[in-house]
Structure formats: structure tokens, C-alpha cells
Chain A
Amino acid sequence: MATATLPRATRFSGRASILRRAFSGDSLAQALVFLCATGILALTALLVWELWTRSALSRATFGFDFLRTGTWDPVAGNFGALPFIYGTVVTSAVGLFIAIPFGVGAAIFLAELAPPKLSDAMTFLIELLAAVPSVIFGLLGIFVLVPMLMKIVPGLKDALGVLPIFSGPFYGVSLLSAGVVLSVMVAPYIISVSREVLLAVPRDMREAALAVGATRWETTWDIVVPHARRGIMGSIFLALARALGETMAVTMVVGNTPKIAASLLAPGYSIAAVIANEFAEATSDLHISTLVELGLVLFGITIVLNGAARLLILATGRKAG
């Protein structure tokens, strides 16, 4: 009796023929996909190796002091990463400071308080905000945000100018401007992931609370949100990782000044921005090496944050499941 084969399995349309040829030998197919998967390991290893070797000169010259020195002087050959680390951290902190209340608030609304259809529609739109390219945020930053801030900040200074973070002159481009742009860019991540995490909280917890007479808000704030707390933290870490690596929008509005200032109104610099500006023109091997080392530092920070985010989001998922 002839082996029964699926008629369809033997007759391939033209488009699938390429696929068929690739998978005709089962062991060949397995080898191919294995190769691709392992290739990714090799690629990542190559990337890390390149970063490591090209930063070798800088690491040998400066050691750990690189991370603590605040001077960036290409003429004298003094390179210190602190101004960039400072700028990266401060702009991201400002971004989160603004994005977290708005983001978590919106996530709560979308997950708990809004009617389902409205929630879906609005989430869809907010996720589109996450798709807007960085350079477009930069464009709007230069031509819309900075002029707007130039009008608002004098008033702000009148009210809060006594605080060191709002002291000093304001030129438009500043750590504050970069922070505001970042907040708009990372808010969708906080909203989207937090909403997911809140939705994953089991139904019965809510129903139990409502049954004993809690209002919707009380249920949300006292029962659901604490349960999802770790996942929300995870979304914040994710947003932070995104903010730290952001290049274009930041470099267009931050002022590109490698100095550490207490005031948010002062211009600053970030790791990604200095690499973008100086990499193609660093004329000494040491200079190039320091920029690569900065890239390595940034990469390291994002790895840690992404890892922590994943653990936190997983923890909430497990608790709820």
C-alpha cells in the first residue's frame, strides 16, 4: 500500500518552492536554523569584542578614574566621562519624573477605569506614539519645545528660581529641554506595559474588593496596583533603558556642553550625544578609544536595567498566574 502523503504536501506553489528547497533535507534544515541561531551568538560576541578591544587604549590610560573625572579636553588629552554620565542620568531622571505620574495614571485609567472599547482605542493610539522616530521628536524639540520653554521658564524661575536646579541663565537648549522630550518618548512604554501588567491581575481580587463595598478607585489603588507593583516598576526600568540610549532627540536640544552644572536650565551632554557628534572626527586614537569606552559604559548600564526590568515584569506575571 503506497504511503499516504498529503496531496498538498507534495504540490507546492511557486512561492513556497524556495522554502521547499531550503527544507528538503531535514538535517540540512536543522543545520541551517541552528547556524542562524548560533550566528546570533557569534554576532553578539563579535560586537562585544570590538567594543572591548577598541576601548582598550582608553581603559589602560585612565582606568576607573575615567568614570570619575569631570574634564573633557581633547587638546590636552584629558578625557573624563563624568559630564556625560551626569547628563545622561539627569536627563533620564527628569524624563521619568514627568513620565511616571502621567504614564501610570494613564495606565490605571486604561486598565481599570475606562470602558473596554475606549481603552483599546486609546491604547492603540498611545502605542503609535512609541513608533514616532526619534529624529522627529528632535525636530519638534528644536522648533516647538525650546521656544515654548523660553517663554515659560522665566515665569518658572520667578517662582522656583531660589532652588539650585532652577538657577542660572536659560538658553533654550538645556538638560531640562532634553528631559521633557525624553518624557514624551518613554511615556508610551510605561503606559503600555503597566496596562498589560494591571490587566493581568486576577479578576477575583477586584470582585472581592467591590463586593465589600469599595469604590472602583479604592479597588484599583489599594488592591490591584500594589499587586502589579513589580511589573509597573519593570515598565519604568524599561522606559529608563530607552531614555538612556536615546541619541538624536537629546543631542538636538541638550546644548552639547560637556560640563556638570547643578541647574537643569544649564546645557549639558549625554553619552549617546557625544558619541554621535565626535566619533567621526576624533583625530587621536585615544579620543576614539574613549568614545568607544563611553559606548561600552552605556551598553553595560542598559544591560543591567533591561535585565532588572525583565525580572520584575516576570515576577508580577508569576504572582498573578
Chain B
Amino acid sequence: MKKTRMVFLAGMAMLAVAASGETLINGAGATFPYPIYSKWFNEYHKLHPDIQINYQSRGSGAGVQQVTAGTVDFGASDYTLTDTQIKEFATKRGSEILAFPTVLGAAVAAYNIPGVTTSLNFTPEALAGIYLGKITKWNDPELVKNNPGVKLPNADIVVIHRAEASGTTFMWTDYLSKVSKEWEMKVGRGASVNWPLGLGGQGSEGVTGQLKQTPNSIGYVELTYVLQNKIPYGKVKNAAGEFVQADLASVTAAAASAAKNMPDDFRVSITNAPGKGAYPISSFTWLLIPSKISDPTKKKALADFLGWMLKDGQTMTTALSYAPLPKEVVAKETKAIAKIN
């Protein structure tokens, strides 16, 4: 009896006590950058085995809500917080919420049309029309006109969007609001909108999965997901009138003007960016970190991670098809890390 009791207590001790010196940080948020974040946190953990940064990919909305509620140490979001949300954070948590851009990414129009493997050309009118439910068939004149030589079927377009609050949705609706007055009036921009039609996929992962399984579907999702899953995606006509494919160069071009005029709080939207070669549905994505962190080890770890992310982390982005931050942004951000105290 005594022996079993000892074993029992030893087992409980093992389950109960954290290894001394371990720093555990929890974050939640955007699915858009999840592939690069999971890589980063993994690599960082290999370099610092005593620091575990657990990131759960749930959507930008969850990131904002959870960091404001204080249930996670940091959030992540593909859209910048509104003034109301910033005020709400200050009221609830008594400190400022800082946004740190991490990478540049693109939301692409991906599709699954049997027999079509080439990259289609989408005009802003086409995308708005499809998502408003006004363009219902793949062989609609608006699509055919811009894609000569492609055999578009006479099939209904299955629209896929995000089911939950998402930064990618914000990026997409922000772009559509900029290029379509009708969209702006009827639906508007937001992380979660009243979609005129379509199926809801959960997370970028869910949308990609849904695309793969549904013929004649179209969905918007981060570039990495379509590349990793070999899904065809289209070119979009940018403000300069060119059909541009999303890639590192075009996403970087989209950020060029914003990089020079980056505000101190890093809140900027680069959709429908001017300039040649710019991909119009690009965006920064941000880590949302409270300015006051009570636990000194967590504070040090996060600040250290940010520094690493801005140097070594940036070298890992292109392998996963995210564009690294422009150097002006990196410089400004490195100084901003000091705001965490």
C-alpha cells in the first residue's frame, strides 16, 4: 500500500509541476499566417527549449477577442484594430495594445473548376459580382471576356467564404469595398459580414479543404494554402490596370508605398495599392501584444522573440511564400519593441 501510494504521488507530481524555468506563452489568432507562425514558434523553441510559444490558429476575430479578454498572452490578426477596439482593450486590460507587423501575404481567388488548370484573369467587377451573387455561372460574359481561350463551363459558381471572424475576410471585403460601390453599400467591410451567398469554411484550412472537395467552387484564401495544396488561383486586375499574379514580388510591390509612410502604430491597409506590379489584395499581418506584461519572463521572451522574428525569422518567409517585411518597417518595428514594458 505504501509503495503504490508513493508511485501515485510521484505520478501526480510529474503531472502537476511545470519544469522549473520553463516559460509558457499562449497566443491565438489569424489562420492566414499560421504556416509561417507554426514554423517560427517551432524554430524558436529549438533555439530556446525553455520557451514554449503555443499558437492556436482560430481566426483573427478570436485573436482580438481573446487577447482583449486576457485569456491569451498575445493575439494575431490580419486586420488592424479599430479605434473602438483599441479603447476597449485599454478599458479591459488597462494598457495599450501594440500591433507588430510580421509578414506580408496575399489573399488569392482560388478555384476548383474541372478541366481548368490555368490561371484565370479576374477583374474587380467579376469578383464583386460573384460574391454578390450577380454573376452565377462560370461562363458569364464578364469572365469569358477576360479569359479568351479558356473553356469555362456552364456551371453554377459555388461561392466559399469564411464561417468565422477572419482577417482574410477583412482583407477581401476591404478590397471589394474599395473597388465596388455596390459591395460597399450592400455588405461592407469587416472580419465577419452578412454574406449574400456561399458556404462557410472554418479557417483558411477549412476554406482550402472545402475548395478541394467542391467542384466549380471559388474561395479566397492566403497564398501559402493554395501553393501547399496545389490549387489553381487567378490573377487580379490591379489599380494600374494590369492582371497580376500574387507572388513575392507583387506583394512586396503592394507594400512599397505604405512602407515609406508607415504610421507609428503600424495600422495601414494596402489593398488595391497603386503602382505597377502590385497585387491588389495584399496585407500585412500583425501580432497583437499588450504594452504591459506583468510576468517578467514572458515579457522578456516575447520581446526577444520579436527581435529574432525581425532578423532570422524574416529569412524563413519566402520558403513559405510570404513576403518579408520591407526594411523600413523592420527598422521602425525594432525600435517599437521597447514599448513593451
A binding-site residues for B, Cβ under 8 Å: 14-15, 71-76, 78, 146-147, 169, 171-173, 255-257, 259, 267, 277-278, 280-283
Contacts and interface: CB of A to CB of B under 8 A. Distances in A.
A14 B1 CA distance: 7
B121 interface: no
Contacts of A146: 213
Contacts of A76: 194
Contact of B65 (A75, A147, A255, A281): A281
Nearest to B190: A75
27 contacts: A14-B1, A71-B194, A72-B194, A75-B188, A75-B193, A76-B194, A169-B158, A171-B199, A256-B201, A256-B202, A257-B163, A257-B198, A257-B199, A267-B199, A280-B28, A280-B58, A280-B65, A281-B58, A281-B61, A281-B65, A281-B164, A282-B61, A282-B65, A282-B165, A283-B68, A283-B85, A283-B191
Contacts, number: 75
A15 B191 CA distance: 57
Contacts of A172: 213-214
Most buried by B among A15, A74, A171, A259: A171
Interface in B186-207: 188, 190-195, 197-202
B259 interface: no
Most buried by B among A14, A15, A257: A257
Nearest to B173: A75
Contact of A281 (B165, B194, B214): B165
B55 to A, nearest CB: 14
Given A73-B193, A75-B188, A283-B68, 19 more contacts: A71-B194, A73-B194, A75-B193, A147-B213, A169-B156, A171-B199, A172-B214, A173-B199, A173-B210, A255-B199, A256-B200, A257-B163, A267-B199, A277-B164, A280-B58, A281-B63, A281-B164, A282-B61, A282-B165
Contacts of A259: 197
Nearest to B158: A171
Interface in B38-61: 58-59, 61
A281 B67 CA distance: 10
Most buried by B among A73, A173, A277, A283: A283
